[in-house]
Structure 1
Amino acid sequence: MIRLTITYIVILISFQVTAQVENSENSKGIDIVNEYDLEDVYPNPFKNEINLVFQTGTRNAIKLYLYDIVGQIIHEKEHEISPNNNHLEINLEHVNLENGMYLLRIEKGKNVKTVRLVRK
């Protein structure tokens, strides 16, 4: 008779992540605007036009890419936003989009935001 002994060692690893969030106000209590913040994308679902509203403290060039669900670029364009011109209206009537889900990628330098959109 062969006797076999198997020993299991179970190691429990536990860790805690601590993050510190700082208020984005300066000493005078005025909100500080980062290079740009996307405030709103509407309507969603959309038909042929998409409106984007930004909050920006400076003049910025942004690139917009519209992707279909398989990741192909359907539309791309560069726009400029500024504190006085922070609303973009994108007309996609000429693009011949089918109804369905799309991804809108907004790039400003290294800053990237992606928004899921539905065309009805």
Structure 2
Amino acid sequence: MLDSVWLLFAFPALGALIILFAGRWMSQKVVGWVASAAVLGAFLVAAGLYLSLVGLPAEERSVTVTWWDWMTIGSFHVPAAVLIDPLSAVMALVVTGVGFLIHVYSIGYMDHEKRYQRYF
């Protein structure tokens, strides 16, 4: 499950792209629920990461997932990587969980606004 950390970023990005390119043709409620579903997907991935991390022995609960070298200057390397440890897993749960609740609340709160799709 730890290798699927990229989904934590992919779900919100996919939701944003769907709303960006197809939001004009969707109803306001559908736009809100697409955005909320994207954040909920990220929350479920964060929950899976947390549960996978808790199942590891204490000395192995810090995992770095590296995707590629973002920048290399001589012997200096800057990787595109994500560190998954107990603190980052809990913060991912908090951010995506609260973000999901905000999205669900905003569906009704922003209902009367013009250009509703731009909010999400």
TM-score, scaled to structure 1: 0.26
With a CA cutoff of 8 Å and minimum separation of 6, indicate the structure with the bigger relative contact order.
Answer: 2
Q: Which of the two has higher C-alpha Rg? A: 1
Which protein has the bigger strand share?
Answer: 1
